């Protein structure tokens, strides 16, 4: 049984990867673009800048959440190969 992967399927996979990365980038965590958009909206609503201390703390929390999301995804991918893992789908 041969494994066939034509150009249309390859472009489809690349499109799904690109869309996934774009959506992840819009999450409202500060290191990502969605976080910058979120804080710009907060500053616009408040009418004054958000204190730097708040931005730094939210950046650390956001980075930790992105890192946790990455670890869960990596563990899930490795788990599919080995039969173990978090089994998060």
Give the C-alpha distances (Å, rounded to integers) separating 36 from 14, 45, 61, 66. 26, 14, 14, 15
Q: How far apart are CA 36 and CA 25, in angstroms?
A: 10
Alpha helices in 1-89 (DSSP H): 7-25, 33-46, 52-82
pTM for this structure?
A: 0.65
pLDDT classification of 1: cutoffs 50, 70, 90: very low
What per-residue confidence (pLDDT) applies to 7? Answer: 83
The model's pLDDT over 49-78, given as tens digits with 9 standing for 90+, comes to 999 899 889 889 988 988 998 898 888 888
User: Mean pLDDT score of the chain, rounded to an integer?
Assistant: 85
Q: Answer whether 32's CB lies under 8 Å from 4's CB.
A: no
């Amino acid at each position: 049984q041969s494994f066939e992967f034509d150009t249309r399927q390859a472009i489809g996979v690349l499109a799904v990867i690109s869309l996934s990365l774009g959506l992840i980038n819009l999450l409202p965590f500060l290191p990502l673009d969605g976080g910058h958009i979120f804080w710009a909206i907060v500053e616009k609503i408040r009418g004054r800048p958000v204190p730097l201390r708040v931005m730094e703390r939210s950046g650390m929390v956001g980075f930790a959440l992105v890192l946790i999301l990455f670890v869960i995804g990596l563990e899930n991918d490795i788990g599919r190969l080995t039969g173990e893992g978090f089994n998060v789908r």
